[in-house]
Amino acid sequence: TLPPRLFYEAVEQSSMAISITDDRARILYANPAFTRVTGYPAGEVIGRNESILSDQHTPALVYETLWGRLRQLQPWSGRLVNRRRDGSRYLAELNIAPVLDAGGRLTHYLGMHRDITEMH
Ligand code: FAD
């Protein structure tokens, strides 16, 4: 079996922006790519909701669809316009997945995204 340290290093070194949140989308962990993409050092986002990345113009229906999937313990993939720490906007391709405990109960969420502004 793989040592836990390897999982940590793999996530730390991933080029995808990766964050882990509690069951209310409050950030517990963010990797270095998250900082590169969003401009937020991990220390500034820990404890805050992922909604700090929200562009204020995204229709609520988009978030309702996202949360509708997560409530059913299903992952959601899609694109969102996000806002960096400096206020600039970027197009994000995201995958957000529930993390379940051994009993199948939701405990956390895993968020992965990348900036696809250039590719669009
Ligand atoms: P909110 O008030 O947060 O939510 C809008 C609607 O979403 C609400 O009316 C409600 O229907 C639903 N909703 C919100 N929170 C919950 C909840 N805990 N349970 C059930 N339904 C809920 N958003 C981004 O804009 N960019 C991101 O990169 C991003 N990454 C995320 C990564 C992860 C791992 C998770 C879990 C969430 C992420 N979100 C992201 C979603 C984010 O948490 C907010 O819900 C979203 O940004 C909308 O924020 P808001 O304050 O405008 O509205």
92 in contact with ligand 1, CB cutoff 6 A: yes
Nearest Cα neighbor of 114 from 14, 27, 29 is 14
C-alpha span between 21 and 10 (Å, rounded): 18
Structure confidence at residue 10 (pLDDT): 98
Q: What value of ipTM does the predicted structure carry?
A: 0.95
Burial of 76 (0-12, 13-18, 19+ CB in 10 A): buried
User: Kindly report the CA angle at 91 between 80 and 114, in degrees rounded to 5?
Assistant: 95
In this predicted model, what pLDDT tens digit does every residue of 43-102 receive, in sequence order? Answer: 999 999 999 999 988 899 999 999 999 999 999 999 999 999 999 999 999 999 999 999
Which atom of ligand 1 sits closest to the CA of residue 55?
25
Structure confidence at residue 114 (pLDDT): 98
109 in contact with ligand 1, CB cutoff 6 A: yes
Burial of 118 (0-12, 13-18, 19+ CB in 10 A): exposed
Which atom of ligand 1 sits closest to the CA of residue 21?
34
For residue 10, report the distance from its CA to the centre of ligand 1, in Å: 26
Which atom of ligand 1 sits closest to the CA of residue 113?
28
Residue 116 above 90 pLDDT? yes
